[in-house]
Amino acid sequence: MKKFLALALSTALVAGMNGQKIGVSMPTKDLQRWNQDGENMQKMLEDAGYEVDLQYASNDPQTQLSQVENMISSGAEVLVIAAIEGSSLGEALDMAKENEIPVIAYDRLLMDNDGVSYYATFDNYMVGTVQGQYIIDTLDLENADGPFNLEITAGDPGDNNAGFFFNGAMDLLKPYIEEGKLVVKSGQTEFEECATAQWKTETAQSRAENIIASNYADGTNIDAWLCSNDSTALGVENALAANYTGEYPIVTGQDCDKENVKNMIAGKQSMSVFKDTRTLATQVVKMIGQILNGVDVDVNDTETYNNNVITVPSYLCEPVFADVNNYKELLLDSGYYTEDDLK
């Protein structure tokens, strides 16, 4: 690998030198947000003067492993990896370390290996607290008598972030569950019980249909359904539309996917945590420039994200939520979507 240039640059985007190659590994094209992440990353890197090897792995860990190894073999000087499963890329990370190739874990922490240089993400625990606080505020749990019925759909157990989302929300909601103001009629309150493999909409829908049939078939109201992201929220919304006869619940989400924003406008989803992929891509491009120019890399957390081997220096962007009251400002006025996107 070429020696790093000791050149301090203060601009937000550091231009690539001599078309240096950057490998970008994304998990799948099946979810809208990864398409947007990949496209944003590629455009910003190419605009900054880099050659980009962008690959999608079809949600298959072995495919992703092979793709990352090929990126290393073909001369990538920095790797940006959004892992399908956090612990599945050990061989590639060992190979990167042997070749002195820095690795940035993108939005999902790479686990069980010391070949990870940096982690760039949104504050994942805060994502959960935003969702939990939304439920608290909307139900007015501080003042209302209750009880209110709550159900929970969490994320992929193979994604380290899923636990942070779940814990952030549940740390706020558990006191209300313990005092009986929130009641989970299914009894499923542990992450393992609520998890959704690979964040699949169909899996979330099937579980939600079972919960509704077993606990709410008589028209009993569900007052809130905590969903960790939009693909799982979509599954819950499909189940509610097909099988639920009570008053429509608060439904949370994350990512502001187009279909979910449309549901938000239609009253079928209450909110979605907005993680502007342009913000994260901008930060990662900046970090790549800093790495390749041998200057200090921006991080703002050196304690939270331990991958079972090392604590990975991290940069955490701050999430916000969109709902029917502010989605135009956040999503349309900012240029993230057009009016046509949401028709």
Q: From the CA atom positions of the chain, what is the Rg in Å?
A: 21
Summarize pLDDT for 202-232 with one digit per residue, the tens.
999 999 999 999 999 999 999 999 999 999 9
Cis status of the peptide bond prior to 319, with omega within 30 of 0: no
Mean pLDDT of 177-198: 97
Mean pLDDT of the region 48-57: 96
Per-residue pLDDT band for 4 (boundaries 50, 70, 90) equals very low
DSSP string, 102-137: -EEEESSPPPS-S---EEEEE-HHHHHHHHHHHHHH
Q: How many C-alpha atoms does 46 have within 13 Å on its Cβ side?
A: 10
- Rounded CA-CA distance 194/187 in Å is 10
What domains does the chain contain, in order, with CATH numbers? Answer: 21-122+276-317 (3.40.50.2300), 124-254 (3.40.50.2300)
> Average pLDDT over the chain, rounded to whole?
93
Q: Tens digits of per-residue pLDDT, 164-179?
A: 999 999 999 999 999 9
Q: What is the pLDDT of residue 17?
A: 52
Question: Nearest-CA neighbor of 222 among 232, 201, 208?
Answer: 208
pLDDT band at 18 (very low <50, low <70, confident <90, very high): low
